[in-house]
Amino acid sequence: GTATALRLAEEGRAAGAPRLAALRDRLVAGVLDAVPGAVLTGPAVDARLADGSPARLPGHASFVFPGLGGEAVLLELEERGVVCSSGSACAADSDDASHVLLAMGLGEDAARTAVRLTLGPTTTPEEVEDVVRLLPEAVAAAGGAALLPA
C-alpha cells in the first residue's frame, strides 16, 4: 500500500537526482551566460555540505535579475511558454519578500525579484535549451536590456 508507494517514490527520486542535477547545471550555466547580469541565489551548483552531500536541490534554480521585478520576468517567460514562479516556494502566495531569500542574505528588493525554475522527471534537455534561448528575450521585454551582453 502506502509504504510501498513511498519506497518506490524515494527510489525514483534518488535514481533521477543525477539527471536532474545535470539539467540544472546546464540551465544555470546557460542562464548566467545568456544573461550576464543575472545572479544565481543560494550556493554554487557544485557546493557540498559538511557530510559531502550536494548543497543544492537537483531540480531547482533561482535567479535574481537586478533592477527587474521577478513578476515581470515571470510574465514574459509565461508568454513564451515557460512556466516558472517568482520568489521562493515558501512565499509563493505572498507579495512579501521571501523569508528564505532574506535569510540567505538577499536584500528586501532583491528577494522580491527572484525567479524560480524547477525541473522534474519529465523535463527534457531540449526544454532546458528552450529556456536558455528564450530568457534573454523575456528579460529584454521586461526592461532589463542592461543585464544582457552588448
Q: pLDDT digits over 35-55, tens only?
A: 999 999 999 999 999 999 999
The H or E element containing residue 127 is helix 125-141
Share of the chain above pLDDT 90, in %: 54
Q: Which residue has the cell 505572498?
A: 94
What pTM did the predictor assign? 0.83
Residues 40, 93: Cα–Cα separation, whole Å:
22
Residue 66 · residue 37 · CB < 8 Å: yes
CA atoms within 13 A on the CB side of 55: 10
Residue 133 phi, psi dihedral angles, 5° rounding: -75, -40
Active-site residues, by number, are 90
Domain 18-144 bears CATH identifier 3.40.1550.10: no
